[in-house]
């Protein structure tokens, strides 16, 4: 394989193959990074809280993880330009995996936060560098389906790893989870050399500063940010909010939420290749808000399961619709910026939700805090409605980027 792949537009008259060898190799690193990340996502907050820190420490760990991720995401496009995809992806997997081992030796809050900081940077490198690379390996006219497939590949590990981490911590101890998270990331490093080092992209590059000034990118990013706020709250605080006899449902709920999100993301991706994906923003937002509202009924096992199913469905729809829209609205040379913006929306939202919810719940109790989160999600109604009214194939009067015209028969 050569070190450079061209971004090719096969034209709207035919459907090119979706899965290629480079994409399969990319899937390996996606699985490793996703498994490592989600194994510890709910375990580390509970680990920090069990050392006497309570909900404040739990929220601080997720907040630190996501803050480091956001900082890393802003820096990753420049690192890729300088070092190439392989080096950045390899460093990301290493930082995501190796520091997890330190948690087995110390539960001190400062040690836990340092590990979260390093793993956040590693995760940023994998999702931004990998996201831009992955988008370039997917044919433009099958983008919605391709991104949905990527969502499934990344979603299945989260589907398994999120509840598995909680289960392993309870039955095998925290050290077993920390070791598994390290191995999951590090074992996929041999797949990295098979990926392209660099890509020749069509169109004019778009920097982060320009991306932050474009309403057609900021509207879907804003919608996704508020749903990510709720997602950060669910994975961090649901294990703490559900107590007593219903506490055994936490693993089930943490399975149902990503399962619903993965299925919804796939369906949304298929829809986006045939219709206007902006029409999915409002349903995704409303389902997310409804799920958070029902989650206030923490004493009812049935309500908790229905709540996470509704929220997962809305979150999965929002994931695919926002990412598809943002990639549609830039040329291939802007994929790195879109990947960084979207992932920043994801991780800053999750971090903000996790960091603030603990203090809110301390004053109101978990039920009221979940209900108030539903109101926060609805604050994105304005950008969702505005983008939903945007005509198919247009963004604020700009013509659609070259090579990104969708085949209506795809």
Q: Which helix (H) or strand (E) holds 200?
A: strand 198-200
Q: What is the pLDDT of residues 241-284, one digit of tens each?
A: 886 545 567 878 888 988 898 889 888 887 876 777 888 999 99
The torsion region of residue 365 among left (phi > 0), alpha (psi -120 to 50) and beta comes to left
What's the pLDDT tens digit per position in 58-104?
778 878 888 898 889 888 888 888 888 889 999 999 999 999 999 98
Q: Is residue 31 part of a domain?
A: yes
Structural domain contains residue 219: yes
Q: Is residue 150 part of a domain?
A: yes
Determine the 3-state secondary structure of 5 from DSSP: strand
Distance of CA 315 to the CA centre of its chain: 10
- Answer whether residue 396 is part of any domain: no
Between 23 and 15, the higher pLDDT residue? 23
- What pLDDT shows up at residue 76? 86
Q: Taking the complete model, does pTM exceed 0.85, yes or no?
A: no
Mean pLDDT of 373-380: 94
From the list 385, 405, 230, the residue with the least C-alpha distance to 312 is 230
Residue 255: helix, strand or coil by DSSP? helix
Residue 6 lies in a domain: no
The domain that holds 122 is classified in CATH as 1.20.1250.20
Domain that holds residue 331: 20-195+208-388
Token readout for 282 is 């409002």
Considering the domain boundaries, does residue 42 fall inside one? yes
The vertex-168 CA angle with 166 and 353, nearest 5°, equals 20
In a domain, 50, yes or no: yes
- Higher-confidence residue of 316 and 407: namely 316
Say if 399 falls within a structural domain: no
Report how far residue 62's alpha carbon sits from residue 120's, in angstroms, rounded to the nearest whole number: 9
**How many domains does the chain divide into?**
1
When mean pLDDT is compared across 42-46, 97-101, 138-142, the lowest value belongs to 138-142
């Amino acid at each position: 394989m050569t070190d450079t792949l061209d971004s090719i537009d096969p034209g709207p008259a035919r459907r090119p193959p979706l899965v290629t060898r480079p994409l399969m190799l990319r899937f390996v690193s996606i699985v490793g990074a996703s498994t490592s990340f989600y194994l510890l996502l709910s375990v580390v907050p509970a680990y920090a809280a069990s050392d006497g820190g309570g909900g404040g420490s739990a929220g601080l760990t997720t907040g630190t993880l996501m803050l480091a991720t956001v900082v890393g995401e802003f820096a990753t496009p420049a690192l890729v330009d300088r070092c190439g995809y392989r080096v950045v992806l390899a460093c990301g997997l290493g930082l995501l995996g190796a520091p997890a081992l330190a948690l087995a030796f110390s539960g001190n809050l400062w040690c836990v936060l340092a590990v979260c900081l390093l793993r956040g940077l590693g995760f940023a490198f994998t999702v931004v560098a990998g996201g831009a690379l992955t988008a370039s390996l997917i044919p433009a006219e099958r983008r919605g389906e391709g991104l949905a497939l990527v969502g499934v590949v990344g979603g299945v590990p989260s589907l398994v790893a999120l509840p598995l981490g909680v289960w392993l911590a309870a039955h095998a101890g925290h050290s077993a989870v920390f070791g598994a998270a390290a191995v999951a990331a590090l074992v996929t490093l041999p797949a990295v050399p098979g990926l392209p080092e660099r890509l020749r992209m069509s169109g004019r590059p778009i920097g982060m500063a320009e991306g932050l000034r474009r309403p057609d990118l900021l509207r879907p990013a804003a919608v996704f940010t508020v749903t990510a706020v709720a997602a950060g709250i669910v994975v961090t605080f649901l294990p703490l909010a559900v107590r007593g006899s219903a506490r055994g449902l936490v693993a089930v709920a943490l399975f149902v939420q990503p399962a619903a999100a993965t299925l919804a993301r796939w369906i949304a991706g298929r829809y986006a290749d045939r219709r206007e994906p902006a029409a999915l923003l409002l349903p995704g937002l409303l389902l997310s808000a409804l799920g958070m509202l029902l989650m206030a009924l923490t004493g009812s096992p049935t309500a908790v399961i229905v709540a996470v199913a509704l929220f997962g469905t809305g979150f999965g729809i929002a994931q695919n619709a926002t990412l598809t829209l943002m990639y549609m609205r830039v040329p291939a040379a802007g994929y790195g910026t879109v990947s960084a913006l979207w992932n920043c929306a994801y991780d800053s939202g999750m971090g903000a939700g996790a960091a603030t919810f603990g203090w809110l719940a301390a004053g109101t109790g978990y039920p009221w805090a979940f209900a108030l989160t539903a109101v926060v999600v609805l604050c994105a109604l304005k950008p969702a409605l505005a983008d939903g009214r945007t005509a198919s194939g247009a963004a604020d009067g700009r013509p659609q980027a070259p090579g990104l015209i969708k085949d209506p028969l795809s």
